[in-house]
Amino acid sequence: MKLHGYFRSSAAFRVRIALNLKKLDYDTALVNLQAGEQVLAQYRAVNPQGRVPALEIDGRVLVQSLAIIEYLDETIAEPPLLPRDAPGRARVRALANIIACDIHPLNNLAVLNYLKNKLEVDQDKRTEWYRHWVKQGFDAIEPLLAGSTDTGRFCHGDRPGLADICLVPQVFNAQRFDCDLAPYPTICRIFDTCMALDAFERAQPSRQPDAPAPA
Amino acid sequence: MKLHGYFRSSAAFRVRIALNLKKLDYDTALVNLQAGEQVLAQYRAVNPQGRVPALEIDGRVLVQSLAIIEYLDETIAEPPLLPRDAPGRARVRALANIIACDIHPLNNLAVLNYLKNKLEVDQDKRTEWYRHWVKQGFDAIEPLLAGSTDTGRFCHGDRPGLADICLVPQVFNAQRFDCDLAPYPTICRIFDTCMALDAFERAQPSRQPDAPAPA
């Protein structure tokens, strides 16, 4: 099993957490997004879309982080990453999708580069853009978490799952862009609970082989 | 069952198709996105995120189009909207997510308004932005469809499912922004096949009660 990823990619981070939670060993292939390696022919041969992550597993290449994680959950029973009941699954997928569809796509490297290079948006306004979409998304997630008895130690009940897998990398990104997280005590509490787990801790960007050495 | 939506929302369009394919009758609550009704207290009481669609079903409110459609597929067996096998499901979800995560979020009304109002990006450059993300996404999808024996009359085999449900509204949007679809013959063929079906045809924006009268 081989994961094609990049230390700072949120989507690759999600898959790393899922692989760790499922206790799967995997090899890592590094794709340097800053250097543009994702659009070179060598990587396009793995994933024609030129995005990370891609997971080589069971003789196939799977792409798109949420599709990969659902596949892992369907093919490896324990521990489950989604609840058993349909309403619970809908809630967890909704939380995951608020992050994966409404926050992260606006703030990934390709978009920030477009703003900078094609639209000549300056650094301050790019940061404002970044924080805006984090705020919009977290403003939605916090009450969904704080206001529901379905929320436990984690986003849904007392074990980590798909929503937590999406939430943690997004909080990492928010911290990197100095977003104000004070309005989101439930998000922060769940983040801390997750990061106390080895599966999350080992998956974080700074623990990856392509991360820069600490200053 | 009540769907809160807006005629031109791609995400609501997806859910309308899924409801039609499942042969479910539903009431419609109109939320005028152009008028900003989605952020008013009345709608926030339904969906605190202030986005459409939201589906009232089985005594709950479900949000996020993909989570809603997965719920419908899990609770109403026929016709299935995802394949039975895990690799097939991963393929369909990947296609759906390329649209739902990599194209649509960049091009929705909230983003276009931010470009216009906050970043003062002019109409031509907004159109260029729009077409750029459609091209990036469709450039990935076309070979995934054209190059796979899993592709049939529809994105996956010979019956419509989740990938088609995401693809059709995205093609509608691409047409509205005059994107060049000539490089995407497989996408266009599947689009035409879908639109020949009543479930897709009845779901299209111009057939909704809040659509403007034809000129």
Domain assignment present for B205: no
The verdict on residue A96 lying in a domain is yes
| Sheet of B54-57, strand order | B27-30, B2-5, B54-57, B60-63
Confidence band for B126, pLDDT divided at 50, 70 and 90: very high
- pLDDT score, position B78: 97
Q: Spell out which residues of chain A touch residue B75, defining contact as CB-CB under 8 Å.
A: 86
Confidence of residue B165 (pLDDT cuts 50, 70, 90): very high
Predicted local confidence at residue A22, as pLDDT: 98
Spell A160-179 as b/e; 16+ CB within 10 A means b.
bbbbbbbbbbbbbbbeeeeb
Q: Which domain holds residue B100?
A: 86-200
φ/ψ of B2, rounded to 5, equals: -135, 125
d(CA A15, CA A166): 9
pLDDT of residue A213: 86
Residue type, A23: K
The reply to whether B75 and B136 lie within a common domain is no
Q: Which amino acid is at A173?
A: N
CA angle B167, A92, B9 (to 5 degrees): 35
Are B89 and A75 inside 8 Å of each other by CB? no
User: Which DSSP state fits B117?
Assistant: I
Tokens of A120: 């000549």
User: Given the DSSP bridges, would you call strands B2-5 and A60-63 parallel, antiparallel or unpaired?
Assistant: unpaired
Contact B64 A98 (CB under 8 A): yes
Nearest-CB residue to B48 (from A48, A111, A140): A140
pLDDT of residue A57: 97
Least CB–CB distance from B75: residue in A49, A86, A110: A86
| Residues A70 and A103 occupy one common structural domain | no
Kindly list the residues from chain A whose CB atom is less than 8 angstroms away from the CB atom of residue B121.
Answer: 119
A94 and A194 housed in the same domain: yes
Query: How far are the Cα atoms of B38, B47, B61, B206 from residue B44, in angstroms, in the given order?
Result: 7, 5, 12, 26
Evaluated on CA atoms A17, A12, A9, B132, the torsion sign reads: negative
Residue B98 shares a structural domain with residue B155: yes
Residues of A within 8 A of B102 (CB-CB) are: 49, 51, 105
Alpha-carbon span B134 to B131, nearest angstrom:
5
Q: What is the pLDDT of residue A215?
A: 72
Cα(B19)–Cα(B28) distance, integer angstroms:
12
The verdict on a CB contact (< 8 Å) between B63 and A89 is: no
Per-residue model confidence as pLDDT tens for chain A (215 residues): 999 999 999 999 999 999 999 999 999 999 999 888 998 999 999 998 899 999 999 999 999 999 999 999 999 999 999 999 999 999 999 999 999 999 999 998 899 999 999 999 999 999 999 999 999 999 999 999 999 999 999 999 999 999 999 999 999 999 999 999 999 999 999 999 999 999 999 999 999 999 998 77
Note whether B95 and B143 are within 8 A (CB).
no
What pLDDT does residue B14 have? 98
pLDDT tens digits along B191-200: 999 999 999 9
Q: Is 90 exceeded by the pLDDT of residue B48?
A: no
Kindly determine whether residue B89 and residue A70, on different chains, have CB atoms separated by under 8 Å: yes
Angle, vertex CA A55, rays to CA A50 and CA A58, nearest 5: 135
Closest CA to A53 of A11, A98, A95, A111: A11
Residues 187-206 of B with CB under 8 A from A: none
> For residue B215, what pLDDT is reported?
72
pLDDT score, position B213: 86
Q: For residues A193-210, b (16+ Cβ closer than 10 Å) or e, as one string?
A: bbeebebbeebbbeebee
CB contact under 8 A, B63 and A87: no
Helical ranges in chain A per DSSP H: 10-21, 41-44, 65-75, 86-97, 104-107, 109-113, 123-146, 162-176, 185-195, 198-201
Q: Specify whether B69 is located in the same domain as B100.
A: no
Same domain for A97 and A175, yes or no, is yes
**pLDDT value at position B7?**
96
- Per residue in A109-137, pLDDT (tens digit) is 899 999 999 999 999 999 999 999 999 99
The verdict on B73 and B108 lying in the same domain is no
Buried b (16+ CB within 10 A) or exposed e, B100-124: bbbbbbbbbebbbebbeeebebeee
Inter-CA distances, A56 with A27, A46, B159, B210, Å = 10, 9, 28, 46
Residue A185, domain CATH: 1.20.1050.10
Question: Taking CB atoms and an 8 Å limit, are A48 and B143 in contact across chains?
Answer: yes
B172 contact A CB<8A: no
Task: Assess contact for A5 and A203: CB atoms under 8 A.
Answer: no
B73 within a domain of the structure (yes/no): yes
pLDDT, tens digit, for every residue of A28-57?
A: 999 999 888 998 999 999 998 899 999 999
For A94, the closest of B50, B67, B118 (CB atoms) is: B67
Check whether residue A95 and residue A193 sit in a common domain. Answer: yes
Whether B90 and B38 share a structural domain: no
pLDDT of residue B214: 79
Is cis: bond before A79, omega within 30 of 0? yes
Instruction: Show which of A42, A60, A79 is a domain's final residue.
Output: A79
Strand order in the sheet with A2-5: A27-30, A2-5, A54-57, A60-63
pLDDT (mean) for B117-146: 97
pTM above 0.95, yes or no: yes
Last residue of a domain, one of A79, A95, A127: A79
Yes or no, beta carbons of B51 and A87 under 8 Å apart: no
- Residue A207 within any structural domain of the chain: no
- Among A90, A125, A128, whose Cβ lies nearest the Cβ of B70? A90
Amino acid A181: pLDDT: 98
| Cα torsion B171, B173, B175, B181: sign | negative
* A133 and A32 both lie in a single domain: no
Indicate the number of domains in chain A. Answer: 2
How many C-alpha atoms does A100 have within 13 Å on its Cβ side? Answer: 32
CATH code at B43?
A: 3.40.30.10
Residue B95 confidence (pLDDT) above 90: yes
Whether cis (ω within 30° of 0) applies to the bond prior to B83 is no
Q: pLDDT band for position B84 (50/70/90)?
A: very high
A94 with A129, same domain: the answer is: yes
How distant, in Å, are the alpha carbons of A12, A91, A127, A159, A168 from that of A192?
Answer: 20, 21, 25, 14, 9
Q: Is there a single domain that holds both residue B74 and residue B103?
A: no
Question: Is residue B72 predicted with pLDDT exceeding 90?
Answer: yes
Beta strands A27-30 and A54-57: pairing type?
unpaired
Mean pLDDT over B33-49 rounds to 90
**Which among B68, B23, B69 is positioned nearest to B164, based on CA atoms?**
B69
User: Among residues B49, B79, B109, which one ends one of the domains?
Assistant: B79
Give the number of other CB atoms < 10 A from CB of residue B159: 15
What residue of A is the nearest CA neighbor of B101? A101
Q: In the structure, what pLDDT confidence band is assigned to residue B156 with cuts at 50, 70 and 90?
A: very high
**Closest residue of A to B133, CA-based?**
A111
